[in-house]
Structure 1
Amino acid sequence: MKAYWVKTNRLIKKLFSNYVWDIPNKENKIYLTFDDGPTPEITAWVLNQLEQYNAKATFFCIGKNIEQHPEIFKKVIEKGHAIGNHTFNHLNGWKTNTNEYIENSVQCSVISNQFSNNKPQTTDNQLFRPPYGKIKRAQAKKLRQKGYKIIMWDVLSADFDQNITKEKCLKNVVNNTRSGSIIVFHDSIKAFENLKYVLPKVLEYLVENHFSFETIKN
């Protein structure tokens, strides 16, 4: 199993201060995010769970998945959630030529706009999250020059990790969430076994502890 931080190290946040790791505030606002969708059935399930708690989230979508499942993508927007760019083909920036990476990211924005019903206030594709959290400095610089805001995270649920228990996944979130935390989940097939256990319990815990849910703004 590859190593990762559940709670992003403060030094990393300081070294890469051009990226957004959290959004400090005094109102107990937190920011739920979901990567890798839209995914048939799973994304719809996530939307239903969020609706039960009147919770808004930011979905970082893969362009190819938007193209294949436009109706699910439109449903995310209709429910009032924010949209972010996760490249067209879920590229690993460390393993991808910079120009190719930028072109692929822009391609995701194009397809997102195509299916967004022209509602820019809820389909802000200038939010960008690099798949795997891996992006070269040159790639990040060019994306920022194009107006993208690079969104990372404060808390990683690790729902994608099939080697941890669902109980451990839950603890990852509840033990590390603070006001301003950006929390990562995945509306993907790989993560769903953990997600379907964790998400309802996380939402209940956060509400009981007086957190409120906000989308990420550009």
Structure 2
Amino acid sequence: MNIVRPYLLKNISNRNCIWQIPGKEKAIYLTFDDGPIPELTPFVLETLNNFNAKATFFCVGDNARKYPELLKEVISNGHAVGNHTYNHLDGWKKKYNEYEKNVNDGFQFIQSKMFRPPYGHITPRQINRISKDSYIVLWTVMSYDFDVNITPEKCLQNVIRFTKRGSIVVFHENKKALPRITYALPRFISHFQERGYEFKALNEELLQKALQTNWINASSFYVSKCLDSLKLKNI
């Protein structure tokens, strides 16, 4: 059983987190973290409207509190919203109770059942608690638009290269990302729309489907690893 346990631990964490949306539909799921902020959210909304694209905004609760009109504009334009904690906390560096309170504080300003942990940092205990009430949405493709060491063109090529149908793609609404997202976002959307892809917002039906696929895959993986361990014992 020691041979199997590392795989099981990995799947216990992953099966309650959503990394991509399964299916044959040519759809991509754009997401934006850290907003809303006046320096960037209007640009993002205008760009999405120009391409008739929908997306999901994982908002920091404190920003939602400071800029409620921007949050209302996001929602009124037909986009989805999710919680990104109240203060953009790192789940690996905070005590459990402190982190849980900050997540709950975020939900006071963001009416949603979706949650994304900042930095993707979340512990198994946090996953077990948060997933009881919310969908934990991670990502397939990270744009790294916040990285000041990469050029806007490199940022664009990164997301184009790794995006496929069902991908959940992350851009950021913060000042560090501004030079790269303003260059890459419209070109990224245009590239995939020209190839027949749609950009859609996440919703509960899609997320539930993704979770069901996770559990099916985890169960199959568990069975295969148990069989492998039995074979090894018989060698």
Q: Same fold (TM over 0.5)?
A: yes
> Which residue of the partner structure matches residue 190 of structure 2?
204
Q: 1:35 pairs with 33, 36, 58, which one?
A: 33
Q: How does 1:39-50 map to 2 (within 5 A)?
A: 39-50=37-48
RMSD across aligned positions (CA): 1.4
CA shift digits 1:114-134 (9 cap, x unpaired): xxxxxxxxxxx1100000000
Q: 1:193 to 1:13 in 2, by over 3 A?
A: farther
Equivalences, count: 195
Instruction: Give the whole-Å Cα distance in 2 for the aligned partners of 1:211 and 1:91.
Output: 34
Q: Which residue matches 2:154?
A: 168
List per-residue Cα deviations over 1:42-101 (Å, max 9, x = no partner): 101100000011000000000000011111111000101000000000000000111111
Aligned to 1:21: 19
The 4+ residue runs of structure 1 with deviation greater than 4 A are 12-15
C-alpha deviation, 1:13, in angstroms: 7.9
Matches within 5 A, 1:1-218: 16-113=14-111, 125-145=112-132, 147-218=133-204
Q: Answer yes or no: is the 8 Å Cα contact 1:22–1:181 preserved in 2.
A: yes
Give the unaligned 5+ runs of structure 2. 1-9, 205-235
Deviations 1:133-174 (A, max 9, x none): 0011111111112x1110000001110111111111001111
CA distance in 1, matches of 2:171, 2:199: 14
- Structure 1: which amino acid aligns with 2:166? G
Separation (CA, whole Å) in 1 of partners of 2:11 and 2:19: 7
Q: Distance in 1 between matches of 2:141 and 2:15?
A: 16
TM-score, with structure 2 as normaliser: 0.80
| SS at 1:197 equivalent | helix
Residue 39 of structure 2 contacts residue 175 of structure 2 at CA under 8 Å; is this kept in 1? no
Query: For 1:31, what is the secondary structure of its paired residue?
Result: strand
Distance 1:63 1:73 in 2: 10
The 1:139–1:39 alpha-carbon spacing in structure 2 relative to 1, beyond 3 Å, is same
Q: Which has the higher helix share?
A: 2
Structure 1 gap segments, 5+ residues each:
1-11, 114-124
Q: Provide TM-score, normalisation by structure 1.
A: 0.86
Matched-pair identity in %: 47
Say whether the 8 Å CA contact 2:13–2:124 is kept in structure 1. Answer: no
Question: How far does residue 16 in structure 1 lie from its aligned partner after superposition?
Answer: 1.5
What corresponds to 1:6 in structure 2?
none
Residue 41 (structure 1) shift: 3.1
